[in-house]
Amino acid sequence: MKDYIIEHWAHGQTTLGGDKGDALSISVNNRAATRQAIINRVRQSGISFVERSDWAAHKSRSSRMHDDWNYNKIAIHHAGRSFTCGPAALQLQDIQNLQMGRGAAASDDIGYHYALDCFGNVFEGRDIRFKGESVHNYNTQVIGIVLLENLTNPGEGHDGVARITRLLNWIGLKKNPQVTEKQKLALTALIRILREFFYIGVLGGHREFPGQLGEGKICPGNAGLMLVGDLRKSTGLGAP
């Protein structure tokens, strides 16, 4: 692989009031080394990191995928119209099967770069060296992170799942979703680590990016969007 020189932004230099000129520039041999360094940092922080091979990801169609780097935005998603919060590996396999099996509109891999389950484990999705496919018209230089839970309030949306959750809520079997504390802590740590490697300036929920379609108008649900707002306040990152 061709060697690259990338800028590794030191933690603390991308907080509110900091700018690109303040950051410490560190040479890294190549992008593969940076991918591994991110994995190592997550594990060093005490969080479990599950690589693609360990959740039995399909091989990507890498020959059709586009390189991407110099990420400056993070988009937060939820796991669509699912009913449960796990098991994570099976959820990721289902998501990848769905996204790669759409015929002419099929993705070349799972669209998200990272996924977090409700226990705070981080899973590798699409290799960070490739442009994601998670935000309509806004994939370039955007890191996609999906929370593996349905974070919509009962009845949010208009499809069959929304109708069922409305019914479950009415009879007392479905409550408003909440992001677990472990998931919240892991997401906060992952964002902090990504900011060590990329000059991230924007953090948004999927539906906050302009012009989203279909489920993108709901994602990451009201509970997910509340979390995003809290994270923006604590990190000083901007909205899309």
User: 12: pLDDT confidence band, cut at 50, 70 and 90?
Assistant: very low
- The candidate with the shortest Cα–Cα distance to 32, out of 12, 4, 61, 60, is 4
Q: Which CATH superfamily is domain 20-235 in?
A: Peptidoglycan recognition protein-like (3.40.80.10)
Strand partners, 49: 122
What is the distance between the alpha carbons of residues 55 and 181, in angstroms, rounded to a whole number? 23
Mean pLDDT of 132-155: 91
Question: Cα 183 to the chain's mean position, in Å?
Answer: 12
Average pLDDT score over the chain: 84
**Quick one: pLDDT at residue 215?**
83
pLDDT for position 85: 75
Res. 27: pLDDT tops 90: no
- At 16 the pLDDT is 47
| Residue 97: band (very low, low, confident or very high) from pLDDT cuts 50, 70, 90 | very high
Q: Where are the domains of the chain?
A: 20-235
Count of Cβ atoms closer than 10 Å to residue 160 Cβ: 9
For 78, the token pair is 């939820």
pLDDT confidence of residue 153: 77
Rounding to the nearest 10 degrees, give the CA dihedral for residues 70, 50, 89, 138: -10
Convert the pLDDT of each residue in 60-90 to its tens digit.
998 999 999 999 999 999 987 565 676 889 9
| pLDDT above 50 (res 181) | yes
If you write DSSP's letter for every residue of 59-70 in order, what string do you get?
PP-GGG--B---
